[in-house]
A = this chain, B = another copy of it.
Amino acid sequence: MKKSLGAATLAEPTPLWCVGSYDEAGKPNVMAAAWGGICCSKPPCVTVSLQKIRHSYQSIMKRMAYTVSVPPAKLAKEADYFGIASGKDVDKFARTGLTPVRSELVDAPYVKEFPLIIECKVIHVYDIGLHTLFIGEILDVKADEEILDGKGKIDAAKLKPLIFSPGARVYHGIGENLGPAFQIGKDL
């Protein structure tokens, strides 16, 4: 018997991503966001949704660019901080000791110490309600060599991304490899 939990954003899993942008003064900023996901393969696009009151909202609207830096589990504390503090008040890079790197492709910074980076040009902006949905065309993905497998593919077990649970408001790490997609169901 299923229990109703009401009309709420209780999806699982959601990502813990860190969205980088430059504000009006040119200060690099980064915020944590769990409302996002891939939305198109061609052109490759990823969404992030932000409230208008966020400091990053104006930054992204002005420069029509953002990055997604995927934090590794060992930097969970820093990534969580990016979702607590506001770039209005503090320099989050300075506070955490992490390093902003200017993207050469889009007008936004990314987090050097995070092993997976997605550089995005905003191609659509949709007001949905409390949140505004940004559709970012992915111009490049950059990864540390250490998170790649023998075939040059990203190995999630090496990346160790963070998974956010909106209901319990906790982070989980990545678990064991459960097999190849589009294959394990073939014999059904």
Contact = CB atoms under 8 A, between A and B. Distances in A.
Interface of A: 1-17, 34-47, 49, 51, 68, 70, 73, 76-85, 95-96, 116-118, 124, 126, 128-131, 133, 135, 137-145, 148-149, 151-157, 159, 161-186, 188
Contacts of A49: 38-40
A161 to B, nearest CB: 5
A8 to B, nearest CB: 5
Contacts of A165: 153-156
Given A12-B15, A81-B185, A157-B172, 6 more contacts: A5-B140, A42-B131, A43-B129, A83-B182, A84-B182, A85-B188
A126 B47 CA distance: 13
A168 to B, nearest CB: 4
